[in-house]
Chains A and B, each alone.
Chain A
Amino acid sequence: MAVDRKRRRFFKAVALLGLSGRLWSVGHEAEARPLFPSPVRTNRLRPPGAVPEELFPLRCVRCGRCVEVCPYGSIRPLDIRNGVFAGTPVIDVTKVPCWLCMKCVEVCPTGSLQKVSQQDVRMGMAIIDKHSCFTWKEEGLLCHTCYNVCPFKETAIKLQAMKPVVVEDKCTGCGLCVHACPVTRDDGEKAINVQPVYSFDAAGSGHEGR
C-alpha cells in the first residue's frame, strides 16, 4: 500500500510538472506536503460535484465549459499566477456564491465535476466563527442572515436558542451564507466561512480516489 501510494504520487508529480512545463525541486519534504499547494482554501472552492483536490487538477482539462455555463458568473477560471492550477475552476463565495443550479456538472466532459443532486453537493462546510458572529458574540443582536438565505433552511442550518447552528452532514457549502454575512473580519473572512473539508483528507495529504 505504502509503496503503491508513493508510486502513484510520483507519477502524478511528473504529470503535473509536465503540465506546468516547469521544473520543481522534488526533495524528501514533498512526501509530507503536496508538491504544489492547492488553490482551494477557505471560501475558495471547487464547483459542485468536484472530485478530491488531489485528482482534480489532473482530471480537469481546463476546457472552461463550467465557467461558460454558470449563469451567475460564480465559477471563475484561475489565472496564470496559479501556475499548474491555471485554468481550473473555482468559486469564490465571498464574491459570487453558488446557487446550486447544477448546470456545471451537466457539461463537464471529464467527470472532474461529477453528477450529483443539489442536496448531495459538498463543496465544503460552513463553519460559524462564534467569536465574530453578531448573534453568538453579542447578547441582544438578532442576526439570522445565514439562516435566512440558506437554500436548505431548517435542514442544513437551524436556529438553536435563536442562534444559528450548521448541520454538518447537510451543509452543501454553496456559500450563500458567507456572501450574505454582514460581518467582515479584519482578515477579509466572514463570521461564517466555508471550509473545503471534503477536498482534502484530515492529514492534508492526498485522497485515494473513489
Chain B
Amino acid sequence: MGLTRRDFLKRTAAAAAASYIGLRLPFDAPEEAMAADVDSWHIGSCRLCGVGCRVRLGVKDGRAVAIKGVPEARTSMGYLCMKGMLFYKLMGHPERLTTPLYRESKKDEFREISWEEALDIAADRFAKAVKEHGNDSVAYYGSGQALTEETYLFQKVMRAGLQTNNVEGNPRLCMASAVGGYLTSFGADEPIGSYADIEKATCFFIIGSNMAEAHPVIFRRVMRRKLDNRNSVTVINADPRISPTSRIADIHLMFEPGTDLAMLNAMAYVILDEGLADEKFIENYATFRIGKDKKEVTFEDYKEFLADYTPEKAAQICKGNITPEKIRKVARLFARSSATMSMWTMGINQRKRGVWANNMIHNLHILTGQLCKPGADSFSLTGQPNACGGVREGGGLCHILPGHRLVKKEKLRNQVEEAWGVPLGRIPPKPGYHTMAMFSAINQGKIKAIWINCTSPAQSLPNCDLYRKGMAREDCFMVVTDIFPTKTTELANLILPTAFHFEKTGVYGCTERRSQITRKAVDAPGKAMPEVWIVREWALKLAQKLQDPVIEKSVEPFKGLEPDYALPKAIWDEYTQKLTKGRDNDLRGATYEVLEKMADGVQWPAPTEEFALKGGTYKKFVRGIDPLADVHAKDDKPLQFYGPAHPDKKLWVWLRPHKGPEEMPDVQYPFYLSTGRIVDHWHTMSMTGRITELLRANPYAYVEINPSDAKALGIKPGDMVLVESRRGRNILPAKVYEGPVKGMVFVYWHDMDEDRMINRVTKDAYDPGSKEPEFKICACRIEKVSGPKPLKPYIVRM
C-alpha cells in the first residue's frame, strides 16, 4: 500500500494533535500526588527472578501501594521490570490464603482450622509416618524463592530432627546442572565473577538464555554495553530460537535443539587448531579430566579427543544456520576478545547432559584464559531469587548440607552436627531422594508425608500428569505452605497460609553470590504466618509426639523469639557464624547489621564485617580481591583456585562427547518441543496471573511455530493447534513467527489451564549427574484442530 501525500499529511496532523493531547497537565498531577502519598519507603529485594534488583516498597496506612527502584544498588542501578514494579499488588490481594485449611481425604472439601490444630495435624502425620514407615518416608520439597532462613531451618529439622536427607527443592529443576558444572570444572559452586564484569566485557556469548525476557534488568546492562560500544563489543547469541535477546546479537547461531554440545566442542577444536589458546594459563591453572572416575589425562589426549569435532562435522550435526566458517568465526571472537563473558540459563541446564554442556562452556573459558580478569567470566544466570543463597548455600538439596558441604563426607556431616549440637551420626550418610526420585517415590507409595513449601510441583514437574497421580494418593499426606491457591494446593491435605515478601524478614542470595536483606514492612493478611515460625512450632510438636529431645534441640536456640525479626536473625546468625566459617561461601561478615547498612547487600566470601561493609568479593580466586585466595594460597601465582571439590586446586578441562537429547523426533512425533518463559509471567503464574496488568499482556500460552512449518501443515495465526507427545497433549493457539528453528515448536510453561499446561507434554528424562530434567527438548506432533477461538485466562481459585 503506497503512502499517498494525502495519507502522509493526515498522519502528521493526527500525530501532532495527539502529541498535544499528551501534554495534558492535569494528568501529571495525580502521579505526583501518588508518590507523595506514601508514608514510608522500605528497602528490600525484588521477589521475582534471580537478578536480585533492589526495590523500595512504598507503604501508606500500613498497606503496600508502590514500588520503585534503588539507584544505588549495584545489581539493578534503579531499573525495574514490570513484574518487579507491580508485585506489591500481591500484598493484601483479595485471593490470599489467610487461614489454615484442612481436609482428611483429598476428596473432601477444605475446612478452616486454627493454627494450633493445623500444626498438631502436621506433626501428628509426620510422626506417624516416621514411626510406621521409617525416617525416609517423610520429605520436604522447597523452593528457590523461600528465604535462606526458611530453607535452612526446614532442612535442619528434617536432617537433625527427623533424620532424613529427603530435602529437595525446585532449584533441582533449574540450576542443578550449573552447580554440577561449576563444581566439576572450577571446584567451587557459583560464578567467579559478577554483574560488574558486564561493563568491562567486549564479547558476550549468550547461549541457551532468553535473558531479555527472563532477566530483563541484567539484559539492560548487556544491551547498554552493546549500544554504547557498537563496534567494539560483540554479542553472540546461540539459541535454536530467535528470541527478544537475539535482537542485540551480531551473530545468531541457530542450530537444531540438543546439538550445541557438538558445536561447543568444535569451538574448542578451532581454538586449539588455530593457536588461540592461552597456553600459559592452561599450564599454570588447568588439568584435563575424563570419565566418571575423573581420570587425569594430558593436553595431547584432549587434542586427540577434539579431532573428532571438526567444524565441518559439527555443522553437519547442528544444521540450522550453522556453517563451519561460522563456528570458526565465533571461536575466534571468543578467544581473541579482550574479555569474553558467557551467560546461560535453562537452555543449557535443563538438559539430559546439562552438566556436560556447562563443562564445555567452562572449557572454552579455561582454554582461552577468559577467566578471573575484568570482564571475563563464565557466568550462569540463576532463575530464582534465592536458589543460590538459600538452596545452593543453605543446604536445600538432598546431597548437600549448609555451607557447600556434601552429605556423603563424614567429616563435613560431623562439622554440621557439632555446630548444631546434636549427636554425631545424627545426619544420615546417604543423600535423600532427588526431585524426580522423590516424586517417583510418592507414585510408588514410599513417601507417606511430604511438606511442599512455596512452589507448585503439580504444574512445574515435567510430565506432570504422571506425578500428579502420586500427589493425589490418599496415603501421601501433603502439607502445602503458600500464599495463593495453586495446582498443588488442589492436591493438598493441609494448606498453611504464609507471609509474603516484605511481610517477614529474611535474606535472598542472588546470582552473583550477593546476599541482600528484606525487612518486614507490612503485616501479613489474616492469620498468615512466616515459615520460620511455622517450622519452629511444628518441630516442637514433633519432638513431643516422637518423644525425641534432639528434634527440640534443633530449634532450641530459636525458642520464644518473635517471628518477624528476632527469629530470622537468630537463624541467620547461626547459619553464617557457625556454618559458613571456613567454607568458600564465608558469610560471617554479612550480619543483619551489615546487610541493613548496605543498599545492595554483600558478595561472599566476606569473612569479616569490615570487609563486608565494602561490598565483599567482586571476583573469586584473585589474590588481592578475594580474601580467601590469600588465606588458601599454596604458591605465589596471582590466581588461587581453592574450591573444595578439586584436591589439586586446579581448573579441570573436561573431555565430554557430544550427546543428543533423550527423545529425538521421529515419524510419529516429528517436531522438537521446547519450553520457556515470557517477560510478564513468573513460573506457575500463581502470582503474576493475579496482577491484572501482567495478565492482560499475556493472558494465555500459545505455541510458536516457524512459518515454513505452519505453511506445510496449513496452520494460520491464531488457529487452535494440538501439541501432543507420548505423555500428554495441549491445545493452544498458534503464533506463526520467525522464532523457533524449522522443525521446532516453542510453548511458554506458565499457563495453569489444563489445555495449555505444557508440562503435561514435556519429558521427565533427567541428567544422570545433576538429576535436572530435560524440560527443553522432547518430541511432539502438531496438528490444526480448529480456527481461532476466544480463550479465557485461567487461575486456580479456592
Q: How far is the CA of A193 from the CA of B10 in the complex (A)?
A: 17
Please state if B788 and A202 are interface contacts (CB–CB under 8 Å).
no
Q: How far is the CA of A132 from the CA of B18 in the complex (A)?
A: 13
Please state if A99 and B13 are interface contacts (CB–CB under 8 Å).
no
Q: Which residues of chain B (644-674) have a CB below 8 Å from chain A?
A: none
Residue numbers in A under 8 Å from B9 (CB-CB)? 202
From A200, which residue of chain B is reached at the shortest CB distance?
Answer: B10
Please state if B18 and A122 are interface contacts (CB–CB under 8 Å).
no
Q: Which residues of chain A (134-157) have a CB below 8 Å from chain B?
A: 134, 137, 139-145, 148-149, 151, 154
Please state if B697 and A99 are interface contacts (CB–CB under 8 Å).
no
Residue numbers in A under 8 Å from B790 (CB-CB)? 71-73, 96
Q: How far is the CA of A193 from the CA of B17 in the complex (A)?
A: 13
Residue numbers in A under 8 Å from B679 (CB-CB)? 144-145, 148
Q: Is A162 at the interface (CB under 8 A from chain B)?
A: yes
Give the interface of A toward B (CB within 8 A): 71-73, 96, 99-101, 103, 116, 120, 122, 125, 127, 129-132, 134, 137, 139-145, 148-149, 151, 154, 159, 161-162, 168-169, 179-180, 182, 185-187, 193, 195, 197-198, 200-202
Q: A125-B14, A182-B697 are in contact. List 18 more A-B contacts (CB 8 A).
A: A71-B787, A100-B717, A101-B716, A101-B787, A103-B788, A120-B1, A122-B1, A129-B18, A132-B22, A134-B85, A140-B71, A140-B77, A144-B216, A145-B680, A162-B223, A182-B82, A186-B27, A201-B6
Query: Contacts A122-B1, A198-B10 known; A141 to B79 CB distance under 8 Å?
Result: yes
Please state if A125 and B3 are interface contacts (CB–CB under 8 Å).
no
Main secondary structure of the interface of B (DSSP, over half): helix
Q: Which of A140, A142, A182, A185 contacts B86 (CB 8 A)?
A: A182
Residue numbers in A under 8 Å from B13 (CB-CB)? 202
Please state if A182 and B694 are interface contacts (CB–CB under 8 Å).
yes
Please state if A99 and B22 are interface contacts (CB–CB under 8 Å).
no
Residue numbers in A under 8 Å from B696 (CB-CB)? 179-180, 182
Q: How far is the CA of A130 from the CA of B244 in the complex (A)?
A: 23
Query: Contacts A125-B11, A148-B244 known; A131 to B23 CB distance under 8 Å?
Result: yes
Query: Contacts A131-B24, A140-B79, A141-B85 known; A195 to B14 CB distance under 8 Å?
Result: yes
Q: Is B69 at the interface (CB under 8 A from chain A)?
A: yes
Q: Which of A101, A116, A151, A168 contacts B15 (CB 8 A)?
A: A168
From A151, which residue of chain B is reached at the shortest CB distance?
Answer: B717
From A126, which residue of chain B is reached at the shortest CB distance?
Answer: B18
Q: Which of A129, A180, A186 contacts B697 (CB 8 A)?
A: A180
A-B contact pairs, 27 of them (CB 8 A): A71-B789, A72-B718, A72-B790, A99-B717, A101-B717, A103-B788, A127-B14, A131-B22, A131-B28, A137-B31, A140-B71, A140-B80, A141-B69, A141-B80, A141-B82, A141-B85, A145-B680, A145-B697, A148-B213, A148-B679, A151-B717, A161-B227, A162-B223, A195-B14, A197-B10, A197-B15, A201-B6
* Distance from B722 Cβ to chain A, minimum over Cβ atoms (Å): 17
Q: Is B247 at the interface (CB under 8 A from chain A)?
A: yes
Residue numbers in A under 8 Å from B224 (CB-CB)? 162
* Distance from B699 Cβ to chain A, minimum over Cβ atoms (Å): 9
Please state if A99 and B223 are interface contacts (CB–CB under 8 Å).
no
Please state if B223 and A132 are interface contacts (CB–CB under 8 Å).
no
Q: Is B72 at the interface (CB under 8 A from chain A)?
A: no
Q: Is B429 at the interface (CB under 8 A from chain A)?
A: no
Please state if A129 and B82 are interface contacts (CB–CB under 8 Å).
no
Q: How far is the CA of A150 from the CA of B672 in the complex (A)?
A: 26
* Distance from A144 Cβ to chain B, minimum over Cβ atoms (Å): 7
Please state if A140 and B247 are interface contacts (CB–CB under 8 Å).
no
Q: Which residues of chain B (448-468) have a CB below 8 Å from chain A?
A: none
Residue numbers in B under 8 Å from A187 (CB-CB)? 27
User: How many contacting A-B pairs (Cβ < 8 A)?
Assistant: 126
* Distance from B22 Cβ to chain A, minimum over Cβ atoms (Å): 5
Q: How far is the CA of A120 from the CA of B31 in the complex (A)?
A: 38
* Distance from A150 Cβ to chain B, minimum over Cβ atoms (Å): 11
Q: Which of B23, B80, B227, B694 contacts A142 (CB 8 A)?
A: B80
From A158, which residue of chain B is reached at the shortest CB distance?
Answer: B247
Please state if B15 and A71 are interface contacts (CB–CB under 8 Å).
no
Please state if B693 and A182 are interface contacts (CB–CB under 8 Å).
yes
Residue numbers in A under 8 Å from B21 (CB-CB)? 129
Q: Is B332 at the interface (CB under 8 A from chain A)?
A: no
Lowest 7 CB-CB distances: which A-B pairs, in order?
A182-B693, A71-B788, A197-B14, A180-B697, A202-B13, A140-B78, A127-B18
Please state if B716 and A142 are interface contacts (CB–CB under 8 Å).
no
Q: How far is the CA of A127 from the CA of B220 in the complex (A)?
A: 24
* Distance from A21 Cβ to chain B, minimum over Cβ atoms (Å): 33
* Distance from B46 Cβ to chain A, minimum over Cβ atoms (Å): 12
From B694, which residue of chain A is reached at the shortest CB distance?
Answer: A182
Please state if B718 and A195 are interface contacts (CB–CB under 8 Å).
no
Interface size class of B (residues with CB under 8 A): 35 or more
From B227, which residue of chain A is reached at the shortest CB distance?
Answer: A161
Residue numbers in A under 8 Å from B213 (CB-CB)? 148
Residue numbers in B under 8 Å from A162 (CB-CB)? 220, 223-224
Query: Contacts A131-B28, A198-B10 known; A143 to B15 CB distance under 8 Å?
Result: no
Q: Which of A120, A131, A142, A151 contacts B81 (CB 8 A)?
A: A142
From A177, which residue of chain B is reached at the shortest CB distance?
Answer: B697
Please state if A129 and B22 are interface contacts (CB–CB under 8 Å).
yes
Residue numbers in A under 8 Å from B109 (CB-CB)? none
Q: Is B217 at the interface (CB under 8 A from chain A)?
A: yes
Residue numbers in A under 8 Å from B22 (CB-CB)? 129-132
Residue numbers in B under 8 Å from A144 (CB-CB)? 216, 679
Q: How far is the CA of A129 from the CA of B27 in the complex (A)?
A: 11
Please state if B223 and A168 are interface contacts (CB–CB under 8 Å).
no
Interface string of B77-114 (1 = CB under 8 A from A): 11111100110000000000000000000000000000
* Distance from B1 Cβ to chain A, minimum over Cβ atoms (Å): 5
Q: Is B30 at the interface (CB under 8 A from chain A)?
A: yes
Residue numbers in A under 8 Å from B635 (CB-CB)? none
Residue numbers in A under 8 Å from B216 (CB-CB)? 142, 144
Residue numbers in B under 8 Å from A202 (CB-CB)? 9-10, 13-14
Query: Contacts A148-B679, A201-B6 known; A139 to B227 CB distance under 8 Å?
Result: no
Q: How far is the CA of A61 from the CA of B114 in the complex (A)?
A: 65
* Distance from B233 Cβ to chain A, minimum over Cβ atoms (Å): 16
From B78, which residue of chain A is reached at the shortest CB distance?
Answer: A140
Q: How far is the CA of A154 from the CA of B79 in the complex (A)?
A: 23
Please state if A149 and B697 are interface contacts (CB–CB under 8 Å).
yes
Q: Is B7 at the interface (CB under 8 A from chain A)?
A: yes
Residue numbers in B under 8 Å from A154 (CB-CB)? 247
Q: Which of B7, B82, B223, B787 contacts A143 (CB 8 A)?
A: B82
Please state if A201 and B10 are interface contacts (CB–CB under 8 Å).
yes
Q: How far is the CA of A77 from the CA of B31 in the complex (A)?
A: 36
Please state if B82 and A145 are interface contacts (CB–CB under 8 Å).
yes
Residue numbers in A under 8 Å from B80 (CB-CB)? 140-142
* Distance from A30 Cβ to chain B, minimum over Cβ atoms (Å): 22
Q: How far is the CA of A125 from the CA of B18 in the complex (A)?
A: 11
* Distance from A20 Cβ to chain B, minimum over Cβ atoms (Å): 28
Interface core residue of B18, B81, B244, B716 (most chain A CB under 10 Å): B18
Residue numbers in A under 8 Å from B787 (CB-CB)? 71, 101, 103
Please state if A131 and B1 are interface contacts (CB–CB under 8 Å).
no
Residue numbers in B under 8 Å from A145 (CB-CB)? 82, 679-680, 697
From A183, which residue of chain B is reached at the shortest CB distance?
Answer: B693
From B16, which residue of chain A is reached at the shortest CB distance?
Answer: A202
From A121, which residue of chain B is reached at the shortest CB distance?
Answer: B1
Query: Contacts A141-B79, A142-B217, A201-B10 known; A195 to B788 CB distance under 8 Å?
Result: no
Q: How far is the CA of A198 from the CA of B790 in the complex (A)?
A: 28
From B30, which residue of chain A is reached at the shortest CB distance?
Answer: A186
Q: Which residues of chain B (44-87) have a CB below 8 Å from chain A?
A: 68-69, 71, 77-82, 85-86
* Distance from B645 Cβ to chain A, minimum over Cβ atoms (Å): 37
Q: How far is the CA of A100 from the CA of B14 in the complex (A)?
A: 23
Residue numbers in A under 8 Å from B716 (CB-CB)? 101
Residue numbers in B under 8 Å from A148 (CB-CB)? 213, 244, 678-680, 697
Q: How far is the CA of A129 from the CA of B693 in the complex (A)?
A: 17
Residue numbers in B under 8 Å from A186 (CB-CB)? 27, 30
Q: How far is the CA of A103 from the CA of B10 in the complex (A)?
A: 28
* Distance from B625 Cβ to chain A, minimum over Cβ atoms (Å): 29
Residue numbers in B under 8 Å from A185 (CB-CB)? 27
